[in-house]
């Protein structure tokens, strides 16, 4: 296997392209989806699971998964939760504002390898943002995949992302969706508890002894979920997950995103579970 | 003059009178190089521009131990009878502070401006074997992978390397046990060894040959070459520290929960000195700033250290919070996972991290302690 070598003269590797925000959609109290488009009108292609470095003018740059594209306009979508100064600045951007973009970076989901298979998506919280692009991709070529099930856990009903879209996909695209929350509100009629409690529901639609699992959420959730999946007959090599770390360069130079031998930016963010299983078991690695 | 009797070739060795080093310095300047070499400043030998022999630390040596560095007069006229100081060559190839770009907010978006200066042409004088290895490590990090960092590559390609093999061992050196010295590996343009009255100069490249053609010298004799070998053997023999690298990556990887990490964390101040003086630590951060009006922004790259908590700040919290986790990251990266990432050790045995640690933590001792109570042995497997 020979990797393609990208030689970038001088410092241009670190300079973002300018995009424009075409619209923003508020998903929850602190989470927004930004739709953006290259300013020069040139195209942008990516693999579902890859990420971009989004730059807020004068504030900073953060790695954000590409959450998909908007139908028809093909604007890139990134779902951003406001937790630090850069993400707070990003969600404040309004229509027409310039935004810097470097990317796409990293290794995406193995969507070609798993053609024809049943696929279980397992999402925790904002982790669904990293799973939306592969979901959208698979549903767009529905016939190439078997059963598709999404199990999604959020903290509370108010924290649920993409609610109308998930409902539409459930009705029109043959997606099985099961949602659970940790804390209820007065109107919640659905499941309460951790996301792996929903595994028996998934088993109604697909065979966990053969299905592929794509997973993204807090690391503690993914560690526990991997154990529960094993109990339900999912072998580790059928589990793929997306990891998150601090990143400054996204190309393996800044050192921030290391997890043991792996640079998350370059070797991930998507990994086959056996590649990282022992590393995730070590606290503070 | 003894000049011109023989044109030097790659692989040939010459003998040169010490005073003629000045001729080489002038030839380098004439060829457009800025010569960076050892100088005494603030009680240490650092790397700065060198124009004349008077700039060099002639007659000085350094006394180094855990958390200890002192300069001492030798009472002789030795040019290079010291080892590595707090500086390394990475500060020239991978500068500690570097402006990446400036952006201006305009009517229709952002206008980017990149620094566009041609790379400086440095000649490094006095690159020790360990530091030559360290430059090769940085080459692998920045130019050996999928992406090539163009700024580093341009500086590195423009650099002329004059190695000086060590004829004394420093108190914290352990290159002999790492296989990284005191003999310089191939790759330098010229390799110097200082004998009592002369330098023996081995020609490494055509550029090196072209420069030495301008310097008065003679072919080195068999006796000269034997003296060089003898000096290097003596340097290796007098090196007191060593790091046992047998199975080292696996040793550390199977001992990530070894009690020694908690013990060293009691002493480690997480100050990051070791990462700053290390000739191969390459991590950086990028900071953003604007002018007061908020119309111009700058992105600046700074050396960073895995010993800070901010280093792993992700989605609202730091991943490596404890000193234990941060020290473990540094040591296991340097000695173990570096092999997975770059196919080589991240440590070259220069000993800087031992000398410049304010509490005298010695990585060779830490590895020794883990090896004594290796998990594989504790569990009897």
Out of A3, A39, A284, closest to residue B325 by CB = A284
User: What tens digit of pLDDT does each residue of A134-183 get?
Assistant: 999 999 999 999 999 999 999 999 999 999 999 999 998 889 999 999 99
Task: Select from B248, B264, B267, B249 the least CA-distant residue to B340.
Answer: B249
A15 contacts on B by Cβ (under 8 Å):
100-101, 112, 114
B149 contacts on A by Cβ (under 8 Å):
8, 13, 253
Decide if pLDDT at A2 tops 50: no
User: What tens digit of pLDDT does each residue of A87-114 get?
Assistant: 999 999 999 999 999 999 999 999 999 9
Q: What residues pair up with B84 in beta bridges, in sequence order? A: none
Q: At what angle do helices B259-267 and B323-332 cross, to 10 degrees?
A: 110
B120 touches chain A (CB under 8 A): no
pLDDT at residue B7 in the model: 63
pLDDT at residue B380 in the model: 55
Q: Which two tokens stand for residue B65?
A: 């131990």
Q: Which domains does chain A have, with CATH numbers?
A: 17-105 (2.40.30.10), 119-280 (3.40.50.80)
Top-confidence range, A16-20, A42-46, B350-354? B350-354
B313 contacts on A by Cβ (under 8 Å):
84, 246
pLDDT at residue A6 in the model: 64
Average of per-residue pLDDT across A73-83: 94
Q: Are strands B317-318 and B313-314 parallel, antiparallel or unpaired?
A: antiparallel
B309 touches chain A (CB under 8 A): no
Task: Select from B361, B10, B4, B20 the least CA-distant residue to B202.
Answer: B10
Q: Under an 8 A CB cutoff, do B146 and A266 touch?
A: yes
Report residue A145: phi and psi, to 5°.
-130, 160
Quick one: closest CA in B to A6, which residue?
B147
> By mean pLDDT, which of A39-48, A248-257, B173-182 is the weakest?
A39-48
User: What tens digit of pLDDT does each residue of A4-15 get?
Assistant: 666 666 778 888
Q: Give the C-alpha separation, B258 to B252, whole Å.
A: 9
Decide if pLDDT at B2 tops 50: no
User: What tens digit of pLDDT does each residue of B213-240 get?
Assistant: 999 999 999 999 999 999 999 999 999 9
pLDDT band at B1 (very low <50, low <70, confident <90, very high): very low
Q: Which two tokens stand for residue B204?
A: 């490494």
SS3 call for A51: strand
Decide if pLDDT at A41 tops 80: no
Q: Give the C-alpha separation, A266 to B126, whole Å.
A: 36
User: What tens digit of pLDDT does each residue of A200-232 get?
Assistant: 999 999 999 999 999 999 999 999 999 999 999
Q: Which two tokens stand for residue A196?
A: 């792996």
Q: What is the mean pLDDT of chain A?
A: 93
Q: What is the number of other CB atoms lying within 10 angstroms of the CB of residue A97? A: 19
Fill in the DSSP letter of residue A64.
E
Q: What is the mean pLDDT of chain B?
A: 94
Decide if pLDDT at B4 tops 70: no
Q: Which two tokens stand for residue B145?
A: 């992978």
pLDDT at residue B327 in the model: 98
Choosing among A4, A19, A253, which should be mutated to test the B contact, i.e. which has the most B CBs within 10 A?
Answer: A253
pLDDT at residue B116 in the model: 81
pLDDT band at B3 (very low <50, low <70, confident <90, very high): very low
Q: Give the C-alpha separation, B192 to B51, whole Å.
A: 18
User: Which residues have CB under 8 Å from B191's CB, separation 6+?
Assistant: B162, B163, B164, B165, B184, B201, B202, B204
pLDDT at residue B5 in the model: 46
Q: Give the C-alpha separation, B5 to B237, whole Å.
A: 38
CA B327 from chain center: how many Å?
A: 21
Q: Give the E-state strand segments of chain B in sequence order.
A: 13-17, 34-41, 44-49, 60-65, 68-73, 97-106, 109-113, 122-127, 147-149, 160-165, 190-194, 198-203, 218-219, 284-290, 296-303, 313-314, 317-318
Q: Which two tokens stand for residue A188?
A: 């919640």
Q: Which two tokens stand for residue B25?
A: 């310095």
Average of per-residue pLDDT across B47-73: 97
Decide if pLDDT at B63 tops 80: yes
pLDDT band at B315 (very low <50, low <70, confident <90, very high): confident
User: What tens digit of pLDDT does each residue of B106-138 get?
Assistant: 887 889 988 888 899 999 999 999 999 999 999
SS3 call for B241: coil
pLDDT at residue A28 in the model: 96
Q: Under an 8 A CB cutoff, do B285 and A254 touch?
A: yes
Report B:214-233 residues touching A (Cβ under 8 A).
Answer: none
Out of A10, A15, A57, closest to residue B105 by CB = A57
User: Which residues have CB under 8 Å from A235's CB, separation 6+?
Assistant: none
Out of B110, B145, B151, closest to residue A11 by CB = B151
B146 touches chain A (CB under 8 A): yes
């Amino acid at each position: 296997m020979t990797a393609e070598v990208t030689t970038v003269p001088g410092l241009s590797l670190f300079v973002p392209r300018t995009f424009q925000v075409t619209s923003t959609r508020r998903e929850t109290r602190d989470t927004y989806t930004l739709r953006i488009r290259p300013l020069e009108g040139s195209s942008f292609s990516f693999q579902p699971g890859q990420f971009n470095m989004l730059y807020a003018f004068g504030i900073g740059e953060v790695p954000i998964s590409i959450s998909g594209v908007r139908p028809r306009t093909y604007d890139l979508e990134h779902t951003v939760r406001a937790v630090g100064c850069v993400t707070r600045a990003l969600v404040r951007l309004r229509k027409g504002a310039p935004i810097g973009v470097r990317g796409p970076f990293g290794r995406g989901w193995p969507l070609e390898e798993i053609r024809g298979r049943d696929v279980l998506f397992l999402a925790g919280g904002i982790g669904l943002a990293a799973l939306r692009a592969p979901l959208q991709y698979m549903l767009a070529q529905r016939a190439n995949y078997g059963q598709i099930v999404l199990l999604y856990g959020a903290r509370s009903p108010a924290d649920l992302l993409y609610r109308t879209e998930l409902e539409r996909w459930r009705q029109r695209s043959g997606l099985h969706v099961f949602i659970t929350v940790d804390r209820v509100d007065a109107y919640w009629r659905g499941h309460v508890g951790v996301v792996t409690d929903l595994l028996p529901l998934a088993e109604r639609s697909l065979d966990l002894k053969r299905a592929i699992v794509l997973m993204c959420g807090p690391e503690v959730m993914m560690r526990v979920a991997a154990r529960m999946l094993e109990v339900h007959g999912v072998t580790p090599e059928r589990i793929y997950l997306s990891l998150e770390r601090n990143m400054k360069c996204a190309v393996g130079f800044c050192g921030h995103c290391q997890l043991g031998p792996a640079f998350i930016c370059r070797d991930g963010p998507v990994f086959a579970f056996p590649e990282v299983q022992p590393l995730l078991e070590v606290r503070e690695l | 003059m003894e000049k011109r009797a023989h044109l030097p070739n790659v692989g040939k060795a010459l003998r040169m009178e010490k005073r003629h080093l000045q001729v080489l310095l002038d030839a380098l300047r004439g060829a457009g190089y800025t010569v960076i070499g050892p100088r005494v400043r603030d009680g240490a030998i650092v790397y700065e521009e060198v124009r004349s022999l008077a700039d060099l630390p002639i007659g000085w040596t350094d006394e180094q131990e855990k958390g200890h560095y002192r300069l001492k007069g030798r009472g002789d006229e030795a040019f290079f009878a010291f080892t590595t100081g707090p500086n390394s060559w990475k500060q020239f190839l991978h500068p500690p502070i570097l402006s990446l770009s400036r952006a201006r907010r305009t009517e229709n978006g952002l206008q980017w401006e990149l620094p566009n200066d041609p790379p400086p042409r440095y000649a490094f004088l006095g690159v020790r074997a360990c530091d030559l290895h360290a430059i090769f490590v940085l080459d692998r990090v920045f130019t050996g992978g999928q992406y090539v960092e163009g700024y580093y590559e341009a500086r590195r390609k423009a650099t002329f390397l004059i190695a000086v093999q060590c004829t004394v061992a420093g108190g914290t050196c352990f290159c002999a046990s790492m296989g990284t010295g005191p003999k310089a590996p191939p790759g330098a343009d010229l390799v110097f060894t200082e004998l009592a009255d002369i330098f023996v100069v081995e020609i490494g490249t055509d550029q090196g040959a072209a420069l030495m053609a301008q310097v008065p010298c003679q072919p080195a004799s068999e006796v000269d070459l034997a003296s060089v070998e003898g000096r290097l053997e003596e340097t290796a023999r007098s090196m007191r520290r060593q790091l046992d690298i047998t199975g080292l990556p696996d040793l550390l990887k199977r001992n990530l929960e070894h009690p020694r990490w908690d013990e060293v964390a009691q002493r480690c101040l997480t100050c990051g000195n070791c990462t700053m003086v290390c000739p191969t630590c390459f991590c950086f951060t990028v900071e953003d700033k604007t002018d007061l009006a908020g119309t111009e922004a700058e992105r600046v790259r700074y050396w960073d250290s895995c010993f800070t908590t901010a280093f792993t700040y992700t989605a609202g919290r730091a991943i490596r919070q404890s000193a234990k986790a941060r020290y473990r990251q540094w040591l296991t990266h340097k000695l173990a996972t570096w092999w997975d990432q770059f196919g080589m050790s991240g440590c070259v045995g220069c000993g800087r991290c031992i000398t410049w640690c304010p509490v005298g933590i010695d990585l060779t001792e830490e590895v020794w302690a883990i090896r004594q109570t290796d998990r594989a042995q504790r569990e009897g497997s």
